[in-house]
Structure 1
Amino acid sequence: MKVLVVGNGGREHALAWKLLQSNKVEQVVCVPGNGGTATLERCQNLPLAVDDFEGISQFALKKGISLVVVGPEVPLSNGITDYLQNQGLMVFGPVKAGAQIEASKAWAKALMQEAGVPTATAAVFRESAAAKSYLQAQGAPIVIKADGLAAGKGVTVAETIEQAESAIDTIFQGQFGSAGNFVVIEECLLGQEVSVLALTDGLTIRPLLPAQDYKRIGEGDTGENTGGMGAYTPTPIATPELMARVQTEVLEKTITALRNRGIDYRGVLYAGLMVAPNGDFKVLEFNCRFGDPETQVILPLLETPLEDLILACIDQRLREMPPLAWKEGAAATVVAASGGYPGDYEKGKIITGIQKAEAAGAIVFHAGTKLNSAQQIITEGGRVLNITGTGENFQEAIAQVYTGIKHIQFPGVYYRRDIGHRVLKIET
C-alpha cells in the first residue's frame, strides 16, 4: 500500500518511519515533509501546503494512494478529512466537527462538562473588561488560554494578577489571530502533566503508552511555553489504576458524548491530564491528533503494526484487534531547537552530526529541517530535531539521547539538559 502523510514535523517523520517498517507499506509520501523524510528510504516529499486539499486529493487519486494520515491539527480543524473522504480517499483523522475538541477550548470544556469528565473550573469571555473582572474575583495563580489553535503557545500560567491581565491583553490584541476571539480563564491545577494518546474508531477507544512532555523552554520548567522540548514514556505516575480510571472516566465518556452530538470521531483522541500529588487527576485539554513530541517516544516502543491499527479505526474494527503489543523498557526524546525559539530565530543553518548521533544508537527525527540544493540538511524551524533513545530503563534511554545529541551541531543550537529528571530520581 502507498500512504500519504500530511505534515512536516518530527511527528510526521516518526509516522513515516514507523509505517515504513511494515512490509505492507510500499511507499510513503510526505506533504510537504522535511529534510528527514526527504532522505528516508522509500519516502518522498511532495511540495504542497497542508491546506492545499485539492492538490493533495488530485495527487493521491492519480498515484493510487491507499491511505492518508493527517498529522497537524490545523488541516484537521479546517476539514481536510471531510474533503478527502468526499473524493473517495481513506483518511485517518477526525472530521472537522470532531476536530473542534482541539480547535476550540470553550467547545471542549462544554463537552467535558456535558460528559461528566473531570476538568478544571473555567469561564469563557469575549471581551477584556469582563475577563479582568472575573480574574480579580478569582485571584492568582490562574491559567489564561486563547480559545483556538495557537501552536502550543496560547496558554499562560500566571503567577500574579498582572501577568494574567497582560496575557488577556495579548490574546485580545490579536497575537494569536482568530484563536484569540475568546479567552478561557481556568483554575490553576497543581501536579504533573501526563499525555494520554488513544486510538478510536468512534465506538472503541484504546490508549497508547502514557507519556510526559516538557513544554517550557528553560531547564527546571522555567520560561515560555513551547510546542514541547522533550518527552518520555511510559511515565510511572500513570499507574495501571490511574489508566483504568482514565479509560472509563475520560476516554469512553468523551467518545460517547461526541457520538451523542452526532459526531463520528475516528482518529487520535489525546487527553492532557494534570495528576495531583494525591493521585487524582483532571483533564486540562484535548487534542485531535498525535502529540508532538510524544509520538517520537511512543512509536519506537510500539510493536503492533501501526497501519493495522489505523485501518481498524477507519473500518470500525478496533474492538476485534488483539491487545496492543509493546517493547519492554522506556524511550525518551530531546528537542534540539534554534537559538531564540520560541521567539524569533534564524533559518538556513547547516546541521552536522546527525549520522554520528545515529551511530551512537539514537534515532534522529527531523522537525524543522530542509534538504537544500547542495544536499545539506539545514534548519527551517524553531524545533529542529528530536533525538530519541530507547533502553531497558529510563537511565539507558536518556543516556542514549544525551550521548547522541552531543554530536548535533548548528549555530545557536539549544536543548534542555534535564529531560527525564523526574524518572531518573525514581529509578535511582
Structure 2
Amino acid sequence: MANFLFCSLDVALITDLAWQVHREGHDVKYYIEAESDTEIGDGFVPKTDDWRAEVDWADVVVFDDIWVGSDIGTGKLAQELREQGNAVVGGTPNTDRLEEDRGYAMEILEEHGVNTVEHHIFNDFDAGIQHVRENPAPYVIKPLGEVQNVKRLLYVGNEDDGSDVVEVLRAYKKAWGHRMKGFQLQRKVEGVEVAICGFFNGNEFIEQVNFNFEHKKLFPGNIGPQTGEMGTSMFWARQNKLFKETLGKLEDWLAEEGYVGSIDINCIVNETGIYPLEFTPRFGYPTIALQEESIESSTGEFFYDLAHGNDPELEVHNGYQIGVRIVLPPFPFDDKKTYDENSRNAAVVFQRESRDGIHLEDTKKIDGQWRAAGESGMPLVVTGKGETMQAARGQAYDRVDDILIPNLYYRDDIGERWIDGDGDRLQAWGYLGPQA
C-alpha cells in the first residue's frame, strides 16, 4: 500500500479518484485550495490543509488540473517536485500551455507532423470580422485567456458565409472585449468528434488507449448552452490509427518534457482525415470517473506505477461505458441566490443499497447522509457499462432512476450519437476494427 497526496490548487475536481484509491486501502490525503469547495469530499476522503507539508509523506503526488487559482501553474510545481525526487502525476509548464494557448498547441502538432485544421489567432475583434468577410465559411470561435473556461462563449458557426460568426464577434466585442485577450477562429469541419486519451508514464504511452465522446450542451439533442460536460461515452482499444496519427506522434516530445498522467486530444474525424481541435493535458472531468469505472485492476497501483515510470498492468472492461453528470440549479450558470434556495446541502437519497456506478463530484457525507457540497451544482456522475453502447446506457440510466435529489436534471441521450451512426461512420472510414 502507498501514500497518495491529491492536490486541487483551484476548485475541487479529483475527489472521486481520491475516494477510489482510499477505498482500495491506500493512505490518502486530499488538499483543496478554493474556499468555496473545502467541504467537498468530507466524510469520504481524509483531508489536509497544507499540501506542501505532506509532500515528503507521499509516495505519489497527484495534481488534478493545470490551474493554480486563476493562473496556470501546476506543471511548474510538478516539474520542481520531480527534480527533487518525488513521483508526481502532473504536467510541465509546456504541457500546461497546450491547453491555455491554442496557437502554441497547433504549432506543436504541426512541428510533429500532425494534420491540423486551418486556424487563425486574433487579438482584435475587427480583424477577426474582416477575416471572415474576406474568407466566408463556417468557423468556430474559441476564446483565449481567462475567459476560455467560460464554456458558453465557444461558438460553432452554422452559416456558409460566416454571417452568424460576424454577428457573434460583434456581440462579444461589446460584452467581453475588456476580458477576452483574443480568440481563435477555426474552420469548421464536419464529421465525428472523438477524443483520444492516452496515459503517459514519463517515457512512453501505455498500450491501452481510451476513446471518448463528449456531450457538452446542456440539453438532450445537443442544444442549449455549453457546459463543461454533461456526460461521456467511451471504450478502450489498442494503439490504432487514430492514436498513431495524433498522440503517438507526440511521444518523444512528451518524454522530453517528462509528462506523467492522462493527456487527451479532441478531434473531428471524417473520410478525408483526422483534425485535432484541442488538448486536455490533465484528467478530464467526468472522464476520469468513467475511466475508473472501466479499470478492472487496481486504480491506485496503476497511478503508482505511472508516476514511478513503470509499465503499469492495466486491465480494462472491453465493451462500452457511459457516464451521466447529475446536476442541480443553476448549473451551468453562477447564481448564488438560486443555488442557496434550490441546491445547497441538498440531500442525496438512494433507493437501493448498492453504490455501484455512483461517482463523487461535489458531494460530502455528514452522519452517513450524502449531501450536495460546494457551489457548482454537480453532485454526482453515474456510470454504466456493457458489451454494447445500448447495454451501457441501460445500466447507467437504471442507476440514475434510483437517485432522488430535489430539482436534479441530466441528459438522457448520452451514448445515443454512437448508436445513431457515429460508430458505423468511424468503422466505414477505417479508423476502428481489426485493420485500424
- TM-score, normalised on structure 1? 0.82
Residue 65 of structure 1 corresponds to which residue in structure 2?
58
Encode CA deviations 1:214-271: one digit per residue, 9 max, x unaligned: 0111111112211110112218xxx76xx52233221132233456xx6332322211
**Percent identity between the aligned chains?**
20
* Mapped pair 1:137 → 2:131: no
Q: 1:95 aligns with which of 92, 96, 118?
A: 92
Q: Against the structure 1 CA distance between its residues 368 and 36, is the aligned structure 2 distance closer, same or farther, given a 3 Å change threshold?
A: closer
2:339 is the alignment partner of 1:347: yes
**Equivalent runs, 1:47-196 vs 2, <5 Å:** 55-61=50-56, 64-75=57-68, 77-78=72-73, 79-85=76-82, 89-148=86-145, 150-151=148-149, 153=151, 154-160=153-159, 161-169=162-170, 175=176, 180-196=180-196
Q: Which residue of 1 aligns with 2:245?
A: 249
1:364 and 2:354 matched: no
* Residue 323 (structure 2) aligns with: 333
1:267 aligns with 2:272: no
Alignment size in residue pairs? 403
Pairing of 1:160-239 with structure 2 (within 5 A): 160=159, 161-169=162-170, 175=176, 180-206=180-206, 207-234=208-235
The one-letter code of the counterpart of 2:265 is: A
2:133 is paired with a residue whose SS is: helix
1:15 maps to which residue?
Answer: 17
- Following TM superposition, by how much is the alpha carbon of 1:283 offset from its aligned partner in structure 2, in angstroms? 0.9
How far apart in 1 are the matches of 2:11 and 2:390?
A: 27
Q: Deviations over 1:179-214 (max 9, x none)?
A: x32211101011222122211134311353211120
SS at match of 2:264: strand
Residue number in structure 2 paired with 1:305: 298
- The 8 Å contact of residues 348 and 405 in structure 2, kept in 1 or not, is answered as no
Q: Which residue of 2 aligns with 1:397?
A: 392
Checking the alignment, whether the CA contact within 8 Å between 2:22 and 2:28 is kept in structure 1 is: yes
> 1:38 is aligned with what amino acid?
D
Which stretch shifts more, 10-19 or 123-132?
10-19
Deviations 1:58-101 (A, max 9, x none): 2434xx12211111231393133135446654321111222111
Question: 155-164 or 66-75, which moves further after superposition?
Answer: 155-164
Encode CA deviations 1:6-32: one digit per residue, 9 max, x unaligned: 238785133123323544x23343536
User: Aligned partner of 2:396: which letter?
Assistant: V
Q: Which segment drifts farther, 79-88 or 211-220?
A: 79-88
Amino acid of the structure 2 residue aligned with 1:205: F
Runs of at least 5 residues in structure 2 that lack an aligned partner in the other structure: 425-436
Contact 2:41–2:363 (8 Å) recurs in 1: no
Task: Give the deviation of 1:57 after TM superposition.
Answer: 0.9
1:169 Cα deviation from its structure 2 partner: 4.9
- What is the letter of the counterpart of residue 292 of structure 2? L
Q: Distance in 1 between matches of 2:136 and 2:328?
A: 36
Aligned match of 1:52: none
Shift of 1:279: 7.4
Which residue in the other structure is 1:51 paired with?
none
Give the Cα–Cα distance (whole angstroms) in 2 for the partners of residues 6 and 36 of structure 1: 13
In the aligned structure 2, how far is the partner of 1:229 from the partner of 1:405?
14
**Alpha-carbon distance between aligned partners in 1 of 2:3 and 2:235, rounded to the nearest angstrom:** 31
CA contact (8 A) 1:4 1:69 kept: yes
Q: Partners in 2 of 1:185 and 1:312 — Cα distance?
A: 40
8 Å CA contact 1:124–1:185 kept in 2: the answer is yes
Distance 1:246 1:218, change over 3 A: same
- Partner of 1:284, secondary structure, is strand
The one-letter amino acid paired with 1:367 is E
CA 1:406–1:70 in 2, change beyond 3 Å: closer, same or farther? same
Q: Which residue of 2 aligns with 1:385?
A: 380
Distance verdict in 2 for CA 1:257–1:2, change over 3 Å: closer
Give the partner amino acid of 1:98: T
> Residues 205 and 251 of structure 1 are in contact (CA less than 8 Å); yes or no, is this contact kept in structure 2?
no
Tell me what 2:43 maps to: 39
What is the letter of the counterpart of residue 157 of structure 1?
V
What corresponds to 1:284 in structure 2?
A: 277
The one-letter amino acid paired with 1:220 is G
1:295 aligns to what SS in structure 2? Answer: helix
Opposite residue 41 of structure 2, the aligned amino acid is T
In structure 1, stretches of 5+ residues that fail to align are 49-54
The whole-number CA distance in structure 1 between the counterparts of 2:388 and 2:31 is 33
Measured in 2, the distance between the counterparts of 1:249 and 1:105 equals: 19
Give me the TM-score of the superposition, normalised by structure 2: 0.81
1:34 Cα deviation from its structure 2 partner: 6.9
**Contact kept? 2:18, 2:28, Cα under 8 Å:** no
What amino acid is the match of 1:39? G
Show the counterpart of 2:428.
none
Q: Work out the CA distance in 2 between the residues paired with 1:156 and 1:140.
A: 14
The SS at the match of 2:246 is helix
SS at match of 1:220: coil
Which stretch of structure 1 is more off in the superposition, 303-312 or 409-418?
Answer: 303-312
**Which residue type is aligned with residue 330 of structure 1?**
Y
1: CA distance, partners of 2:101 / 2:391 = 39
Q: Which amino acid aligns with 1:421?
A: E
1:368 and 1:385 in contact (8 A); partners too: yes
Return the offset for 1:108: 0.2
* Residues 1:176 and 1:133: Cα distance change in structure 2 (over 3 Å): closer
Counterpart residue type for residue 29 of structure 1: Y
Structure 2 residue matching 1:234: 3-state secondary structure: strand
Are residues 36 and 56 of structure 1, via their aligned partners in 2, closer, same or farther at CA, if it must alter by over 3 Å? closer
